[in-house]
A and B are shown apart, each in its own frame.
Chain A
């Protein structure tokens, strides 16, 4: 068991490294390693590589990792394979926050962090607080009820976003649509620096709570009986997820599917123990989104397919195949 875990983690580290190293060379214009290492005097390739591709790949990796581990955390907390920041309305809350920010046209920044990120975080936190309030109200609701509430909230937020879009100028409206598709086309080092202050603390908090996630996945009563302060732990987890997802959604838009698929893929490979599942999911999610983005840059070159479209196109059928092959996945 332990050897198998080690093998899977080592395999994922190698995969993630390979993807991260190769991806910057791939795109509308393929760049040969020699062009970067020993550039010709007046070539543009090194600039494309260092100024566009590298920050883009780094952003994709961080975004994929964040969405995957947040999905993992939600699946454990709600003991439901469909629970993700996406299905519980956190992503759409973040989207709404960012959409309102764009529509209002008041551009501000806090300590160099863009206002869109802050607005998305506030939106994510508001959605999260609603879900959390529902888990507390009247002695709590079943996770099925919460999921339904999350879906309802998603639709509600989405129609608000549509309304905002409808009243926006043509320019803002186009920006919103492109952003809603989930894209990494416009990112640079600035975007990466905007994501990291949200993503890193969020991921770090989750990394320290893998044992609590294990226990909560066995049921809240059992977790409490084993010494987990369930209410406080859930507050911290909700906060960490809002922070990380808000930061990612503000820059990349609501990218779906990674959060649901990556943890399940890793569960099938490595089992349920979150102490091993967390690093596996982090690496797999990061590598998967980086790969999807690389594919999106090349399949229809010179045009680009938004990464959100690719994740669902690749991930959907693959996930279905996996489901029907195995018959069942965990946490049912």
Chain B
């Protein structure tokens, strides 16, 4: 099958001799969405970064859009895979437009300059993400939600076929959570992007994605559809705690709530 976005077999990562991920295997079709879930420290972010070779080199086979990852130069890989990092609150004081424009870097040849065409694409991406009004604002003056949308705009301006998102909605208020989720879902359905999202909260869209990969202590504990995840005791295995699944009163969509020890 050549229309796979990611074809991963036996992916392992060691950092400083310590195994972080062991023998992860999955295949994700182009244009599909994947939610990567699991408890803290399971290796979710590490897996996401290793797919884009972002500061992490993994062992094992990682084919990206039908080609082994190691055959890609970093720039070529960035034309296929973009990334939205976890919001850690640290930003360089670039303006939003400068930041989004920088995402055109992988499309430049060596020593080439950014052109008006790049600026047009950056502006379009900002309009798409609803952040055109922040163009001249410095990133460090934006709220967490506004900044996150600028980060997504930058990933869109990068024009990659797959986008990696690391907990895009954590720390955001409800309105921004909803806006980000909607934005990501629309770029998947309209532009046919492959979307991989690390999620902390299952109700932040994990149950709406095409596939779910659950990690636990660096190994794959579950791979399947959201419906399969909610069957008999699988969530409990992943998270080591009990859950109830209820339905949304209007849409009927499943919502996961912890069974005890909360509220």
Contact = CB atoms under 8 A, between A and B. Distances in A.
A217 B85 CA distance: 14
Contact of B102 (A208, A215, A220, A330): A215
A219 B15 CA distance: 19
A271 B95 contact: yes
B136 A1 contact: yes
A226 B16 contact: no
Contact of A226 (B90, B94, B106): B106
B139 to A, nearest CB: 9
B105 A218 contact: no
Interface stretch (B46-54, B205-213, B215-223): B46-54
Contacts of B73: 229
Contacts of A271: 94-95, 98
How many chain B residues sit at the interface, stated as a range, is 35 or more
Contact of B85 (A215, A221, A230): A221
B183 to A, nearest CB: 18
Nearest to B155: A225
B93 A330 contact: yes
Interface residues of A, number: 26
Contacts of B75: 227, 229
A319 to B, nearest CB: 18
Given A221-B55, A224-B52, A224-B74, A272 B93 contact: yes
A225 B83 contact: yes
Interface string B108-123: 1001001000000000
B32 interface: no
B77 interface: yes
A214 B93 contact: no
A272 B98 contact: yes
A217 B92 CA distance: 6
Contacts of A273: 94, 98
Given A139-B16, A219-B90, A226 B103 contact: yes
A328 to B, nearest CB: 9
B78 A227 contact: yes
Interface in B79-109: 79, 81-83, 85, 90-95, 98-99, 102-103, 105-106, 108
Given A218-B102, A219-B85, 4 more contacts: A225-B164, A226-B78, A226-B102, A271-B94
